[in-house]
């Protein structure tokens, strides 16, 4: 049993939780909780850490014993955890590597493009909602939040295991690829003149979502095929990024059904 905070594995888990650089260098990320362990592809799992108290759960321990694992004292486990109320199990996973081609496998893909999105909760919620709506993948600009950030991972509720994602330099670098793949680009924008529910999303479709505070850059908006709007009542000017993405994705899902 690991009982010391000075243990090198413990120090490394803390680094993986806190530093994107460490995650990139090692090609690993951490997922907390029983659900995240249960849904994790077994060939992604690098190692599992179980708290001393949870190790009394025979069913869980039997599953963990099929994999590289360690038991950790409760006090040390609390320090390893990124949450206020640790669930007693941490799974260290290999970061999957996707390529742009992986997102264009279907004839009419449904994609989400995130430009400079910073909030981990928004990113994770968009990934989770995307899976629910039948999206085929997420594209992020390099200035966006690190998708392996523990807060993003928690917000995905397991969808991180099933939603392909790639990083790109900027939105402009996608323009020719989208054109070649016959994917139309749409952005919910304050300058949008057409309502989002008046467009046809049954063909290849990409929805662009911008930074929480500033929205899309002018360059990204200019590169879009169509600026659309989500009608607002009252004095509300715009919606939360994840909410807007969800509305657009589910409209596309409805049309495709």
Give residue for tokens 């963990």.
Answer: 64
Position 213 pLDDT exceeds 90: no
The closest of 216, 221, 220, 257 to 238, measured between CA atoms, is: 216
Mean of all residue pLDDT scores within the chain: 95
Q: Which two tokens stand for residue 193?
A: 């003149």
For residue 239, pLDDT beyond 90: no
pLDDT digits (tens, 9 = 90+) for 184-205: 999 988 888 899 999 999 999 9
Q: Could you give the angle at the alpha carbon of 222 between the alpha carbons of 218 and 223, nearest 5°?
A: 120
Q: Is this structure's pTM higher than 0.75?
A: yes
* Fold of the domain spanning 100-256: Alpha/beta knot (3.40.1280)
Percent of all residues in the chain with a pLDDT value above 90, rounded to a whole number: 92
CATH code for residues 8-94: 3.30.1330.30
- The 10s digit of each residue's pLDDT in 35-58 is 999 999 999 999 999 999 999 999
Domain boundaries defined on the chain = 8-94, 100-256
């Amino acid at each position: 049993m690991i009982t010391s905070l000075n243990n090198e594995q413990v120090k490394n888990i803390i680094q993986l939780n806190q530093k994107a650089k460490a995650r990139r260098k090692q090609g690993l990320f951490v997922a907390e909780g029983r659900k995240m362990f249960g849904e994790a592809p077994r060939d992604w799992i690098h190692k599992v850490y179980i708290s001393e108290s949870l190790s009394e759960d025979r069913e869980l321990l039997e599953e963990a014993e099929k994999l590289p694992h360690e038991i950790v004292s409760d006090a040390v486990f609390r320090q390893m955890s990124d949450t206020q109320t640790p669930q007693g199990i941490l799974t260290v996973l290999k970061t999957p590597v996707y390529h742009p081609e992986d997102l264009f496998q279907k004839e009419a893909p449904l994609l989400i493009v995130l430009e400079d999105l910073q909030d981990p909760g928004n990113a994770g919620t968009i990934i989770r909602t995307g899976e629910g709506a039948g999206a085929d993948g997420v594209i992020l600009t390099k200035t966006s939040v690190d998708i392996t950030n523990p807060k993003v991972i928690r917000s995905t509720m397991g969808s991180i295991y099933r939603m392909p994602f790639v990083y790109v330099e900027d939105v402009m670098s996608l323009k020719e690829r989208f054109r070649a793949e016959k994917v139309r680009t749409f952005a919910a924008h304050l300058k949008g003149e057409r309502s989002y529910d008046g467009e046809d999303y049954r063909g290849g479709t990409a929805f662009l979502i911008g930074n929480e505070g500033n929205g899309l850059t002018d360059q990204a908006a200019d590169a879009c095929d169509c600026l659309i709007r989500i009608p607002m009542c009252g004095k509300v000017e715009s919606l939360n990024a994840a909410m807007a993405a969800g509305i657009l994705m589910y409209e596309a899902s409805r049309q495709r059904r």
